[in-house]
Amino acid sequence: MPDAPLRPEPFVPKTAPEALEDLRSRLRATRWPDAPEDAGWSLGTDLSYLRELVAYWAEEFDWPTQEAALARLPRFRVRLGGLGIHFVHARAAAPAGPVLPLVLGHGWPDSFWRYTKVIPLLTDPGAHGADPADAFDVVVPDMPGYGHSDRPTGPPLDSVAVARLWADLMSVLGYPRFGAAGGDVGSHVSRYLALDHPDRVVAVHRMDAGVPVFTGDPAELTPEERAWLRDAAAWGATEGAYAAMHRTKPQTAAVGLTDSPAGLAAWIVEKLRAWSDCAGDVERSFTRDEILTNVTLYWLTETIGSSMRMYRANAAIPAAQHARRVEVPSGFSLFPGDLIRPPRAWLDRTTNVVRVSEPARGGHFAPFEEPELYAEELRAFFRPYRTAATG
C-alpha cells in the first residue's frame, strides 16, 4: 500500500505565560561581567548597551504582540526526512501573469524572521508600487535546528542535506520548478539546490559567495581573487572567533547561551551590529523590538546550540563539493554593508553569472534592513525566468 501523501499542517504557536515569566526572572537576575572603561564594542558586545537592551526585554518588550504579528503569516509544519519542518507558504495575491515559486534560505543568527518584511512585497508587488506581474509564491523554511523546525537528535545536517529537504518540500507543495534565493548559510543551500537539482531550479539568486574555498594553484587566480582570499583570511583572524567556536566546540558555548538570555542576546546582537549597514549603531538597522523578536525566537525554541552545530557539519563538506561550478543561471546582489564581498572574477569562475548588482544600502541582513531594495533585486533578477517555471 503506497504511503499517504505528506500534508502540511497549519502552525500557530502560542507561548505559555510561565515561559515568559521564567524569561523575565532570568533577565532580572543577570550576573553582569565587568568591562574596561570605554571598551565600547571593541571587545564584543557593548556592556552598557546590553544592559539597556536586557532591561527593556525584561520590563517593556511585548512578546505576545510580536508573536501575534508573526502568526499573521501563513505558517505550516510538515515532516520531511524524519524531522518536523516549519515554513511560511505565502501565495501570490492577484497575479497578473505567470507566478514564480521562490524558496528563500535564511542563515545564522536568524530564521524565517529574516524575510518577514519582504514576503508581502514579493507576493503582492502591486500593492507596494511595483508591477503585479512580478508576483511570487514565497516559501520560507526554518532550517533543521533553527526556529520552529525540529532539532536533529543525531549528527547535524549540512547545507547539502538541507538543499535536498527543500527540494522535497517544494515537491510536497506542488512546485516541480522554482527559483531559489538566500544569504549566509541560505546562500550555500541555494547553491546546492542549483547544483544537485538543476532540472528543477530555474535560476538562483545569492547575496554572497560564502567564505572562499580554493585548493588549486593560486597562480590560476586573478589579482582581485588573490586579494579577496587574503581579505577573507584576515577577516577570519579578527572577526571569525564565533565561527571557530561553532565549528569546533559548539556545545561548550551552548550551555551558557541556552541558560542565560542576556548571554544569548550578547552573542546575537553583536553580529546584528557588525554585519549590518548601520554605521556602528545597531538600532539604525533594527528596532529594539525587532532585535528582541529574533533573540526571543532563539530563546523560546532553545535552538542556539543546534543552530551552531550546523557550522561543524558544513566544515566537513568535502573540498570537491566546493569546487563544483553552478551552471544554473545565477545572480548576485552584493550589498555594501555585507561581510566579504567577492570579485566578479570569482563569481564567473564558480557560477554561470547572468547578473551582478551593487545596491546602494544594506548589509548581511538586507531582506530585513532594506526590504524594498531586496524585493526589487529579486523581481529584476527572476523576471526573465518566470515562464521557465510555469510553461
Residue ranges per structural domain of the chain: 15-28+41-390
- 317 Cβ contact list (under 8 Å, min separation 6): 158, 159, 160
Average pLDDT value for residue range 207-230? 91
Say if residue 87's pLDDT is above 80.
yes
For residues 97 and 277, the model is more confident at 277
Say if residue 39's pLDDT is above 50.
yes
Residue 51 CA to residue 32 CA, distance in Å, equals 9
Confidence of residue 94 (pLDDT cuts 50, 70, 90): confident
Say if residue 135's pLDDT is above 90.
yes
Say if residue 171's pLDDT is above 70.
yes
Q: Is 281 a catalytic residue?
A: no
Q: Is there a contact between 201 and 328 (Cβ–Cβ < 8 Å)? A: yes
pLDDT of residue 310: 97
Q: Is 374 a catalytic residue?
A: no
Say if residue 96's pLDDT is above 90.
no
Active-site pick, 86, 148, 246, 364: 364
Say if residue 287's pLDDT is above 70.
yes
pLDDT of residue 215: 85
Say if residue 2's pLDDT is above 80.
no
The three cell numbers locating residue 217? 594553484
Active-site pick, 311, 338, 374, 385: 311
CATH of domain 15-28+41-390: 3.40.50.1820
Q: Specify the pTM.
A: 0.96
pLDDT of residue 216: 85
Average pLDDT value for residue range 206-226? 91
Active-site pick, 110, 137, 142, 184: 184
Say if residue 23's pLDDT is above 90.
yes
Burial 240-253 (b: 16+ CB within 10 A, else e): bebbebbbeebeeb
Residue ranges of E strands in the chain:
9-10, 75-80, 83-90, 100-105, 136-141, 178-182, 201-206, 326-333, 351-357
Residue 94 CA to residue 87 CA, distance in Å, equals 22
Q: Is 311 a catalytic residue?
A: yes
